[in-house]
């Protein structure tokens, strides 16, 4: 197990519970021989604690573990900055669902102690990279848009209108479609937006991507699960009059035009996500999605 000496703290702004948990975490960690670093946004939340500071995008340069206090959205925001440097993250849940931030605030001292002492489980969650190629550009002139831990989404933006596009997987034509858009989700993202759109739940260990149409014009267009190493290309129709938007984990990064191509691939380096040792994905589903617990039998 890795040894953690330089601990980064990230908190979600505008949430009173996050500030309370951050201060409690700081008081607890200050009793140990550890270096604590907070990003500049978190520093504004906990003024007066005198910790080392850096920009959020620089956390991985100084930390060997990052603790995120907030919800899954906070974890998604941090993941894109630390994944490439293989800095592991663990989340303390001050949000709602909490599939990625699975440590309860009341358990933080016990769990963080166990993690620092080497008692934890760790899994790798791959991200997606997305590039855009304008209709007039040639291969090699693609514009890198960003990465997503949950999903890359093509959608019409503010206008509630259908858009037209074509889908290719590994240079093979799949279909043309008229719909409100398309969600390209990782297994991590299968329990997020893709689930709301009718996609399947995928175990995080799968090397797969799910493509979920959003309100397709044809009932024959259903979610498709493809290999995680596939290259996915979405081509906006040359006759499309709208300017569809491209979002990574809910953040709009690009406005497409007719004829644009969007290329989605697996990111080379995954995110290292730390959990308490007893954590399982199925337990998280029972807790977050209301799945039934084991039946009590007469002979139990």
Q: How far is CA 224 from CA 141, 169, 263, in A?
A: 29, 11, 17
Contact 204, 187 (CB under 8 A): yes
Instruction: Tell me what pLDDT residue 300 has.
Output: 55
HEC-encoded secondary structure of 209-239? EEEEEECCCCCCCCCEEEECCCCEEEEECCC
Instruction: Tell me what pLDDT residue 157 has.
Output: 84
Q: Identify the active-site residue in 20, 39, 72, 123.
A: 72
Tokens of residue 266, six digits: 């697996």
- Name which residue leads in pLDDT, 41 or 158: 41
Mean pLDDT of the chain: 90
Region 204-228: mean pLDDT is 94
On the question of pLDDT at 13 being above 90, the answer is no
Tokens of residue 169, six digits: 């997987």
Region 264-279: mean pLDDT is 94
Q: Give whichever of 113-122, 129-138, 156-165, 204-213 has the largest mean pLDDT.
A: 204-213
Instruction: Tell me what pLDDT residue 1 has.
Output: 55
Instruction: Tell me what pLDDT residue 146 has.
Output: 95
Q: Which of 24-33, 132-141, 259-268 has the lowest mean pLDDT?
A: 132-141
Task: Read off the pLDDT of residues 95-126 as tens digits, 9 standing for 90 and up.
Answer: 777 789 889 999 999 999 999 999 999 999 99
Instruction: Tell me what pLDDT residue 188 has.
Output: 97
pLDDT band with cut points at 50, 70 and 90 for residue 50: low
64 is catalytic: no
HEC-encoded secondary structure of 37-102? EEEHHHHHHCCCCCCEEECHHHHHHHCCEEEEEECHHHHHHHHHHHHHHCCCEEEEECCCCCCCCC
Contact 277, 114 (CB under 8 A): yes
3 state DSSP class of 162:
coil
Structural domains present in the chain: 6-125+270-289 (3.40.50.10330), 128-266 (2.60.200.30)
3 state DSSP class of 237:
coil
pLDDT > 70: percent of the chain: 95
On the question of pLDDT at 139 being above 60, the answer is no
On the question of pLDDT at 4 being above 80, the answer is yes
């Amino acid at each position: 197990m890795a040894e953690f000496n330089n601990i980064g703290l990230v908190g979600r702004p505008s949430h009173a519970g996050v500030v309370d948990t951050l201060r409690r975490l700081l008081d607890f960690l200050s009793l140990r021989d550890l270096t604590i670093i907070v990003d500049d946004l978190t520093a504004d939340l906990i003024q007066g604690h005198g910790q080392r500071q850096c920009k959020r995008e620089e956390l991985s340069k100084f930390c060997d573990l990052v603790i995120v206090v907030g919800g899954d959205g906070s974890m998604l925001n941090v993941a894109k900055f630390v994944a490439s440097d293989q800095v592991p993250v663990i989340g303390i849940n001050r949000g709602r669902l909490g599939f990625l931030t699975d440590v309860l605030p009341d358990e933080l001292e016990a769990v963080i102690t166990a993690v620092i002492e080497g008692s934890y489980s760790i899994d790798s969650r791959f991200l997606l990279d997305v590039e855009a190629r304008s209709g007039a550009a040639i291969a090699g002139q693609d514009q890198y848009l960003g990465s997503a831990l949950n999903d890359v989404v093509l959608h019409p933006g503010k206008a509630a209108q259908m858009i037209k596009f074509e889908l290719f997987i590994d240079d093979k034509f799949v279909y043309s479609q008229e719909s409100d858009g398309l969600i390209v989700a990782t297994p991590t993202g299968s329990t997020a937006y893709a689930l709301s759109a009718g996609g399947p739940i995928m175990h995080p260990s799968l090397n797969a991507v799910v493509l979920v149409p959003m309100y397709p014009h044809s009932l024959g267009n259903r979610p498709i699960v493809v290999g995680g190493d596939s290259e996915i290309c979405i081509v906006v129709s040359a006759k499309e009059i709208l300017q569809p938007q491209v979002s990574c984990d809910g953040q709009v990064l690009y406005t497409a035009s007719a004829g644009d191509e969007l290329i989605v691939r697996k990111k080379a380096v995954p995110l290292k996500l730390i959990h308490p040792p007893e954590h399982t994905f199925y337990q998280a589903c029972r807790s977050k999605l209301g799945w039934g617990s084991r039946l009590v039998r007469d002979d139990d």
